Amino acid sequence: MGDTCCDNSTMGEIGRIIKDELPGIYVHSVKLGDSEGADRNAGFFGNLNTQVDRVCTELAEVDELKDTKVNLMGFSQGGLFLRALVQRCPSISARKLVTFGSPHSGVARIPECPSDGDVLCRWMRQLASRGVYSWYIRDHVIQAQYFKDPERIDQYLQYNIFLPDINNEVADKRESEYRDRIRQLEKMVLVRFSDDAMIYPSASSWFGFVDANGTETSLYDSLMYIEDWLGLRTLDESNRLEFVSLDGKHMAIGEQNLRDIVSKHFADDGDEDDVPGPARVPIIEPDIHQHVFKNGHRYT
C-alpha cells in the first residue's frame, strides 16, 4: 500500500540487495499503471481479478521469465497477490514463493495506514467504512477484496469477489488447478511479524485467522488444511511449507534478515538440468510499508 515498483528507496533497494546477495541474477519488479502515480493508486483502488490477469499477460512477454522456473517474493498484500498469480497464471512456472506479512486468510479489519499523511490510504479507509460488501466498494477498493468478517462469513463467501476464490473456500467452485499449482512449488515460506498491528489478525500471514469471538485460530485447525483445499497440507507433509517469525512491527524486516532469506531460499541449489533458461528470477511485488534496514533508515 502506497509504494511503487521502482522507487530507489523501496523496491529499488530491495532489488539492489537481492542482486548484491546473488550476483548475476535477474530481478523483475511488478508494475501496475503506466506512471508512478498510477502504480501507487493501484495498491488501493481497482479490481484484483483484473490486476492479476493483467500481470499474468504482461509477465508472459518478459523474455527473461520465459522457459524457466522463477522465484517470487511478495511484501504484505503483495504476497497475497503473487500467490493468486501462481494459482491462476499458467504462463508463470513458480519455483519458490516467499511472502512477508501477507494476509493470506484475509483481514478482519481494514489495514491501518503506514502514515497519517497517506491521503490515498485515508481515502480508501473512508470508502471501506461505508460497507465493504456494497457493490461499488467490493469492486473498486483493493483492501475490501480481501476483507473477511468472522461474524459474517456467509456474506463474505457470497459477496467478496477475490479472496474466497483464491482460497478455494466455496465448495461448489473449488479449482483443482489452484491446489495443483501450489503443490508444485518447491517451497512456500510464510514470514510473520511478532508485533504486526497493521494486518489483523497477524496470524493471517501463516494462514491463520480469528473466530467470531476474536480468538486466534491456526491453519492446522482449518478445513482448508484438513481437506487440503490449496495443497498446503501436501506442502507441509513433504517439508516444503516453512513458517518464519521475525521480531518487530509490520514489514520491519531488517537488511540482514532479508539477505539471509534470499541466500537461503533463492540461491541456485537445484539441478540445472531440471531448470532450463537464465538464472533463477525473483519477481518482487511493490508493496512495502516500513522496511527497516541495518543502517537504521526507515523507508516508507
- For 292, the enclosing helix (H) or strand (E) is strand 291-292
Question: 228 catalytic, yes or no?
Answer: no
Write out pLDDT tens, residues 63-84: 999 989 999 999 999 999 999 9
Contact assessment for residue 283 and residue 82, using Cβ atoms and an 8 Å cutoff: yes
Q: Which three cell numbers stand for residue 40?
A: 501507487
Per-position b or e across 51-72, b if 16+ CB within 10 A of its CB: bbeebbeebeeeeebeebbbbb
Digit-coded pLDDT (tens) for 278-289: 456 787 766 545
* 29, 76, 102, 222: the active-site residue: 76
Is 76 an annotated catalytic residue?
Answer: yes
Sign of the CA dihedral with 273 first, then 275, 276, and 280 last: negative
Integer Cα distance of 98 and 118 in angstroms: 27
pLDDT recorded at residue 287: 56
pLDDT of residue 93: 93
Please give the radius of gyration of the chain, using alpha carbons only, rounded to the nearest integer: 18
Query: Which position among 196, 205, 289, 291 bears the catalytic label?
Result: 196
Q: Structure pTM?
A: 0.88
Q: Is 284 helix (H, G, I), strand (E, B) or coil?
A: strand
- Percentage of the chain beyond pLDDT 90 is 68
Is residue 104 part of the annotated active site? The answer reads no
